[in-house]
Amino acid sequence: MNAEELRSIQAPLKDRYRTEPDAALVTLRASGALDSASIACKVETGRALAAAGLHPATGGRGTELCSGDMLLEALVACAGVTLKAVATSIGVELRSGRVLVEGDLDFRGTLGVARDAPVGFTDIRLTFELNTDAAQAELDTLIKLTERYCVVLQTLRRPPGIEAKLTRV
């Protein structure tokens, strides 16, 4: 897809969202079923069923996906797609590239071993390795716009309000 094709696809959407802001509000959903045989949750991904379980650092077997890994993978996917869309839009040619994410966890928090240990990632590092001849100024714009428009990155940087509730079925 080139910049013109991308613009032609997005232009009517942008026009509609300018005139009908409510049309741009979409609720995404995810669901999963608790596994009755093990400490796991089967997440419906739309393409397949992904079984998430305990990370080996918390006693898991390592045969199921770790939800922490899945969070980082979501960031890789979103940042990669956003980077490609922005590069296409602004005309930055990329021969190839990789998106790398690392996140630091202290499992003492998750396991309740130390009350002062945080639960969750303390630091996340996002790196883009790009094979391109683009000028540094173009690459600076590319990274700035990628950071600005990456949904997962912005959600992590500015967490939304989250409500947890329990219902009996």
Whole-angstrom Cα distance, residue 144 to residue 26?
A: 25
Whole-angstrom Cα distance, residue 53 to residue 61?
A: 8
Q: For residue 109, what are the CA distances in angstroms to 33, 112, 113, 168?
A: 25, 5, 6, 29
Ordered strands of the 65-66 beta sheet: 31-34, 40-44, 49-53, 65-66
CA-based nearest residue to 76, from 36, 27, 125: 125
DSSP state of 96: E
The pLDDT value given to residue 45: 79
Domains defined along the chain, listed by start: 67-157 (3.30.300.20)
Per-residue pLDDT of the chain (169 residues; tens, 9 = 90+): 888 998 899 999 999 999 999 988 888 787 888 777 888 888 887 778 888 999 999 988 889 989 999 999 999 999 999 999 999 999 999 999 999 999 999 999 999 999 999 999 999 999 999 999 999 999 999 999 999 999 999 999 999 999 999 999 9
